[in-house]
Amino acid sequence: MLGINKFAVDDEEAHIVLKKELCALCQAKPCTRACPAALYTLKEGDISFDYAGCLECGTCRVICPQKGAINWQYPRGGFGIIFRYG
Amino acid sequence: MGEDKFTAIIIGAGPAGSTAAYLLAREGLDVLLIEKGASPGSKNMFGGRMYSHALQQIMPDFWEEAPVERPVVREVITFITEDRSLSITCQDESWSRPPYHSFTLLRAEFDAWLAAKAEEAGAVLAYGIRVDGLLMEKGRVAGVRAGTDEMLADVVIAADGVNSIIAQQAGLRKELEPCQVATGAKEVIALPPETISQRFQVSGNGGVAQLFVGSCTKGMPGGGFLYTNKNTISLGVVVNAAALQQNQYRPVDLVEDFKAHPHIAPLIEGGEVVEYSAHLVPEAGLHMMPQLYGDGILVVGDAAGFVLNLGYQVRGMDLAIASGAAAARTIKEAKSKGDFSRQSLSCYQEYLKESFVLRDMEAYKNAPAFLENKRLFSAYPQLATSLASKMFTVDGNQPVHLLGKIIDQLKTNQVGWFQLACDAWKGGRVL
């Protein structure tokens, strides 16, 4: 699905960074379901996250029950999702 | 960036920010409009329709040059279950004539146009720049910081959208709560314009706006939407983020299931998905409204939570545009007084009341609480669709009069008369 979208991926800086030690304490892990781009996946019980396909909605930031686990900001200027329709 | 000081720096070239920039620039004030996207509009999305009245006030007959898609000539509300649907349709010929009541549109193009209008009026438009924070001076906002660049202004407008990190940094707003926002996920599906007009039974360039309630969100608070553009269809679902947090459903699956519904699939058959997007919608109304002004700062649009969702009506852009206009008026007066203090900027709130923004937000302040009622998203769509189905069914069984059918369906769907009457009464009062 995300293949159809246009992105300018910032190879140098991830705009979302996880504190995996905090994620490990989280039982519910709602990010693995609520992210509209389905970018949070479980690999052997650990959260794996790929910032490259992010739609920058902010859902993960809002629903994360583990305060401080997700360091969320917008990508650097000009990077990230480029909506051609919106 | 130079050492010059701007009268206003506006963060975010969405409808609120660009409107403010346009109006201030038109007054001859020095305005800097900063947008983080690679181009204005490239980070923006919404469901699909703008009510015209607000922009009409500022730019009469804007549709003659603005990249709008179709004027909405038909409104549809649909109760939907796995295998049934019941629609209420309303068509009004006046909607298809100037001043068009509302337009479907696509934000990448529209927002780029509005930002260009601001630039044309004299605003400096800088895009591809992310504002990293506010510059503070003696406890007041004095400008913005982007990387190593610092830009000074008498006043900053936070028009940076629902996640408004700027309003939060300024201490005007707390963290968003999951129950205050909804996640919207949408696909844009390309089809030939004549196919769209035929399938939706509209003549010429008429557009359709359709909202769905029921199984499209699996009973979670929220709904489905469909808007017809010129040669695309905007289709998606919106679900309260707290419900997403607590349930097992994934937005991407909800969109796929919605598209596969037997009553939706034929409408988009043969279409090509050209984009998948997502965004948060501020839905708590006045209950999530931040401090709207501080020393040297104003908050507009989604950043201020200016969205109204009544279930049958979803408004955001008209409120954003009018809030941008109110901010511009406030700044113009502050400039003439030479005073950008909190006190001086406080008339922003008055202007928002004078325009329709805070008046309407106030009028519908109880709608968000009402729309948390789970029966609206599961029991009532079931009840309405099954009752309608029974009404239209002829099967050789013993006839039952309408009242009997209603009683029967209330029982089947475990809805009490009293409960139904209470919900209807409440809905009638708050929506």
Place of tokens 């002004």: B293
Beta pairing partners, B189: B233, B273
* Amino acid at the residue B218: K
- Residue pair A65/A47 in contact by the 8 Å Cβ criterion: no
Interchain contact, A82 vs B37, CB within 8 Å: yes
Smallest Cβ distance to A74: which of B36, B107, B248? B36
Residue A44: CB atoms within 10 A of its CB come to 5
Interchain contact, A37 vs B278, CB within 8 Å: yes
The pTM score is 0.97
Q: Write out pLDDT tens, residues B344-384.
A: 999 999 999 999 999 999 999 999 999 999 999 999 999 99
- Per DSSP bridges, beta strands A16-18 and A40-43 are unpaired
Residue B423: CB atoms within 10 A of its CB come to 17
CA distance, residue A29 to nearest chain B CA (Å) = 9
Measured CA to CA, the distance from residue B166 to residue B282 in angstroms comes to 16
Measured CA to CA, the distance from residue B352 to residue B319 in angstroms comes to 10
Residue B2: CB atoms within 10 A of its CB come to 7
* Nearest chain A residue to B188, by CA: A85
Smallest Cβ distance to A85: which of B106, B184, B246? B106
Smallest Cβ distance to A85: which of B130, B176, B274? B274
Q: What is the 3-state secondary structure (H, E, C) of chain B?
A: CCCCEEEEEEECCCHHHHHHHHHHHHCCCCEEEEECCCCCCCCCCCCCEEECHHHHHHCCCHHHCCCCCCEEEEEEEEEECCCCEEEEEEECHHHHCCCCCEEECCHHHHHHHHHHHHHHHCCEEEECCCCCEEEEECCEEEEEEECCEEEEEEEEEECCCCCCHHHHHCCCCCCCCHHHEEEEEEEEEECCHHHHHHHCCCCCCCEEEEEEEEHHHCCCCEEEEEEECCCEEEEEEEEEHHHHHHCCCCHHHHHHHHHHCCCCHHHHCCCEEEEEEEEEEECCHHHHCCCCEECCEEECHHHHCCCEECCCCEECHHHHHHHHHHHHHHHHHHHHHCCCCHHHHCHHHHHHHHCCHHHHHHHCCCHHHHCCCHHHHCHHHHHHHHHHHHHHCCCCCCCCCHHHHHHHHHHHCCCCHHHHHHHHHHHHHHC
- Residue pair B16/B24 in contact by the 8 Å Cβ criterion: no
- Residue pair B175/B290 in contact by the 8 Å Cβ criterion: no
Residue B33: CB atoms within 10 A of its CB come to 29
What is the predicted pLDDT for the residue at B233?
98
Beta pairing partners, B232: B190
B124 closest CA partner among B10, B208, B39: B10
What is the predicted pLDDT for the residue at B299?
98
Asked: is B5-69+105-177+286-355 a CATH 3.50.50.60 domain? The reply is: yes
Interchain contact, A83 vs B146, CB within 8 Å: no
Interchain contact, A56 vs B43, CB within 8 Å: yes
What is the predicted pLDDT for the residue at B1?
45
- Section A33-47 average pLDDT: 94
**Per residue of chain B (431 residues), what is the pLDDT tens digit?**
445 899 999 999 999 999 999 999 999 999 999 999 999 999 999 999 999 999 999 999 999 999 999 999 999 999 999 999 999 999 999 999 999 999 999 999 999 999 999 999 999 999 999 999 999 999 999 999 999 999 999 999 999 999 999 999 999 999 999 999 999 999 999 999 999 999 999 999 999 999 999 999 999 999 999 999 999 999 999 999 999 999 999 999 999 999 999 999 999 999 999 999 999 999 999 999 999 999 999 999 999 999 999 999 999 999 999 999 999 999 999 999 999 999 999 999 999 999 999 999 999 999 999 999 999 999 999 999 999 999 999 999 999 999 999 999 999 988 999 999 999 999 999 99
Q: List CB contacts of B100: < 8 A, sequence separation 6 or more.
A: B52, B63, B71
B161 closest CA partner among B37, B72, B271: B37
* Amino acid at the residue B335: K
Q: Write out pLDDT tens, residues B98-132.
A: 999 999 999 999 999 999 999 999 999 999 999 99
Interchain contact, B244 vs A30, CB within 8 Å: yes
Token pair for B148: 């190593």
Q: Does the CB of B56 have a partner CB in chain A at under 8 Å? A: no
Between positions 3 and 62 of A, the ones with CB within 8 A of B are 4-5, 8, 28, 30, 33-38, 55-59, 61-62
What is the average pLDDT value for chain B, to the nearest integer?
Answer: 97
Report ipTM (2 d.p.). 0.97
Return the domain boundaries, chain B: 5-69+105-177+286-355, 180-282, 370-430
Residue A82's H or E segment, with its range, is strand A80-82
Smallest Cβ distance to B130: which of A8, A37, A77? A77
Residue B246: CB atoms within 10 A of its CB come to 15
Q: Write out pLDDT tens, residues B269-303.
A: 999 999 999 999 999 999 999 999 999 999 999 99
Smallest Cβ distance to B162: which of A33, A38, A58? A58
* Nearest chain A residue to B255, by CA: A36
CA distance, residue A75 to nearest chain B CA (Å) = 8
Smallest Cβ distance to B276: which of A2, A73, A79? A2
Interchain contact, A85 vs B246, CB within 8 Å: no
B159 closest CA partner among B54, B333, B33: B33
Measured CA to CA, the distance from residue A86 to residue B297 in angstroms comes to 28
What is the predicted pLDDT for the residue at B270?
98
- Residue pair A38/A52 in contact by the 8 Å Cβ criterion: no
Go through chain B and tell me how many residues it has.
431
Interchain contact, B275 vs A37, CB within 8 Å: no
When computed from its CA atoms, the radius of gyration of chain B, rounded to whole angstroms, is: 23
* Nearest chain A residue to B44, by CA: A86
Mind listing the domains of chain A with CATH numbers? 2-79 (3.30.70.20)
* Nearest chain A residue to B175, by CA: A62
Alpha-carbon dihedral angle through residues B150, B153, B155, B160, given to the nearest 10 degrees: -40
Smallest Cβ distance to B276: which of A4, A35, A62? A4
Instruction: Name the region of B27 (left: φ>0; alpha: ψ -120 to 50; beta: rest).
Output: alpha
Name the class of domain B180-282: alpha beta
* Nearest chain A residue to B126, by CA: A77
Between positions 13 and 42 of B, the ones with CB within 8 A of A are 36-39, 41-42
CA distance, residue A13 to nearest chain B CA (Å) = 13
CA distance, residue B147 to nearest chain A CA (Å) = 9
pLDDT above 70 for A1: no
Interchain contact, B183 vs A78, CB within 8 Å: no
* Nearest chain A residue to B274, by CA: A4
Best residue of A4, A61, A66, A85 to probe chain B, by most B CBs closer than 10 Å: A85
CA distance, residue A56 to nearest chain B CA (Å) = 7
Residue B420: CB atoms within 10 A of its CB come to 17
Per-residue exposure over B312-323, b if at least 16 CB sit within 10 Å of its own CB, e if not: ebbbbbbbbbbb
Measured CA to CA, the distance from residue A39 to residue A57 in angstroms comes to 12
Between positions 148 and 187 of B, the ones with CB within 8 A of A are 162-163, 165, 176-178, 181, 183-185
- Per DSSP bridges, beta strands B124-127 and B31-35 are parallel
Measured CA to CA, the distance from residue B212 to residue B277 in angstroms comes to 19
